[in-house]
Structure 1
Amino acid sequence: MLRFTTDDIPAQDRFEHWRETRGRNLFGVTIELDREKRGDFSGHFTAEAYGGAIVSELQASAYRVSRTPQDIARLSSDSLLLGWQIEGGGWMETGRRAALHRIDSGAFTVGHSEQTYSGTPNTDRRFLWRMIKIPLAGCDFAPPLADLASQPICAAWLRPVTALFLAIGARDAVLPDPAAGIDAIGRLALVATGRLPHHAPENRAALRLALLQAARAILRRDLDRPDLSPSLVARELGVSPRQLHILFEPSGLSFARTLTGFRLERALRLLLHRQERTVADIAYACGFDSLATFYRAFRAAYGMTPLDMRAMPPAVV
């Protein structure tokens, strides 16, 4: 993984270094910031190869950014760009027709790397931006995309796309392999923009994979609820309970086993790191409906009781 921070650069040189080294030479963009604000600038950047794509994250002081025809000529790349505005926001003017889009926190954008754009922040607060760059050479799912100006996807697609974005690179993600995850999010993004048909088998499979990540995120979020059921999760995702169960089939773990596994993981952490809490308190806090159910599940998973696990020396655990 490539990591960079301006923290080790003198304050008066940070913005200039970021603009030239990270903006102009690495991303092929033009960055501008009012001179009186440059002394307070700071930025952090990471990038790693994943499944044939590049996944990067930027966190920095707000600035104006554009990709001009000159930038494209200097640093071209036939790639699909998927961007997630996690924090911050502003206005983005894109493409030859100069369409203007408002980009709020949480927005997800899709576009081709050879399209021009300019972005202006609507706040002086720092921004957090994640991007997946998918080279299109040899990519079998993408139609011609050179005319795809960057645009935000509609709200109906945000949940599955965001869930799959979060799963890419995550250690506990349920993805067939990195390349399959990149293929799926590329397909899903193009379905969301109308560039690929929703009904094609490969694209429907991409949606199912994304909805599985979204379902797992709900289980982690709400595992403390004893009443957390397939019906509740299915309703939140807008699918039927039967469809929800089908989502879990490729993972090899059912809805119930996945939820129990998440609850046990959290219970184990609490047992080891929150010694002041009783076993019963931990069991109920993790969504188990009875102490007996918790003990049975814990012993089946770890081969010992919760109290035996807590009594073990840290080096052994």
Structure 2
Amino acid sequence: YRTAPQGAGGFHLRILKIPVSSIPTQDRRMRELAPRTFNDPTLAPLLAACFADLGEAADDPAAADAPPLVQASLVQALAHLALIERGIVRPGSRRGQAALQTARLSQARRLIARHLQDPHLAPAMVADLLGVSVRHLHMLFETAEKSFSQTVTDERLKQSRRLMREAPERLIADIAASCGFESLATYYRVFNAAYGMAPGDFRARASDGL
């Protein structure tokens, strides 16, 4: 599937090969599977989110056991999103709903990562950006390992650790604020609860190569 034009007449090209054996018999309309531009503006962001998560899952060395399952779910979602766009799979069908759920969860996580710096990041904000109700957003995260709030906190902590490694001269208070923590005290409390050490201790270990 080729995405919409980007910039000066160019295209971002993303190709996903899906074995025919992985597609249900009733969906095997081979003539419908010829490559073409994906034009649905509603489904395109969901497709992009799945592609991005698929790439990250494959490249994540910290999740050696998880990627195969994650990738299988994402590949299936991508296939069914393509079939939804072509009118072969109905959005309201079991397969259509499963694909949309997987894709919306991917997009929700990416929206969270994009707005981490905002201390007012909340379910209502992400649900509005995603175009779903707050209740539906929480239902999406019920199928995930972590809730919405746990995902936000985890992403903020991971970003703060990355910043401490990449910018050792930067004040910890500045890092906490840039990651969306409402106060330095909250950051220290949450960081210690998650990693069993203070941010300063983590920075010291990181600078020593531990």
TM score, norm. by length of structure 1:
0.58
The answer for the alignment partner of 2:6 in structure 1 is 105
Distance 2:182 2:115 in 1: 14
The correspondence for 2:19, drawn from 129, 135, 143, is 135
Q: Which has the higher helix share?
A: 2
**1:151 Cα shift?**
4.3
Q: Is the 8 A contact 1:142 1:187 kept in 2?
A: no
Q: Secondary structure at the match of 2:14?
A: strand
**1:189 Cα shift?**
1.2
The answer for the alignment partner of 1:315 in structure 2 is 209
For residues 170-203 of structure 1, the C-alpha deviation after alignment (integer angstroms, 9 at most, x for no partner) is 2369874322221111011111221111111222
Asked if 1:225 is matched to 2:118, the reply is: yes
Q: 5 Å matches for 1:1-317?
A: 83-85=1-3, 103-105=4-6, 123=9, 128-137=12-21, 139-140=23-24, 143-148=27-32, 149=34, 150-171=36-57, 176-312=69-205, 313-316=207-210
**1:138 Cα shift?**
5.1
For residues 206-258 of structure 1, the C-alpha deviation after alignment (integer angstroms, 9 at most, x for no partner) is 10110001000011111000001100000011101111011112222010010
Q: Is the 8 A contact 1:212 1:248 kept in 2?
A: yes
Distance 1:211 1:141 in 2: 26
For residues 86-107 of structure 1, the C-alpha deviation after alignment (integer angstroms, 9 at most, x for no partner) is xxxxxxxxxxxxxxxxx5239x
Q: Is the 8 A contact 1:141 1:187 kept in 2?
A: no
- Which protein is bigger by CA-based radius of gyration? 1
The answer for the alignment partner of 1:57 in structure 2 is none
**1:141 Cα shift?**
6.3
Q: Which amino acid aligns with 1:308?
A: D
Q: What CA RMSD, in Å, does the superposition of the two structures yield over aligned residues?
A: 2.3
Unaligned residue ranges in structure 2 (runs of 5+): none
Q: Secondary structure at the match of 1:276?
A: coil
Distance 1:163 1:142 in 2: 27
Distance 1:177 1:309 in 2: 30
Report how many residues are paired.
200
Q: Which amino acid aligns with 1:219?
A: I
Unaligned residue ranges in structure 1 (runs of 5+): 1-82, 86-102, 107-121
TM score, norm. by length of structure 2:
0.86
For residues 139-178 of structure 1, the C-alpha deviation after alignment (integer angstroms, 9 at most, x for no partner) is 2165232332534331111111111121113236987432
Q: Which amino acid aligns with 1:198?
A: P
Q: Secondary structure at the match of 1:104?
A: strand
Distance 2:87 2:112 in 1: 30
Q: Secondary structure at the match of 2:16?
A: strand
Q: Which amino acid aligns with 1:166?
A: A
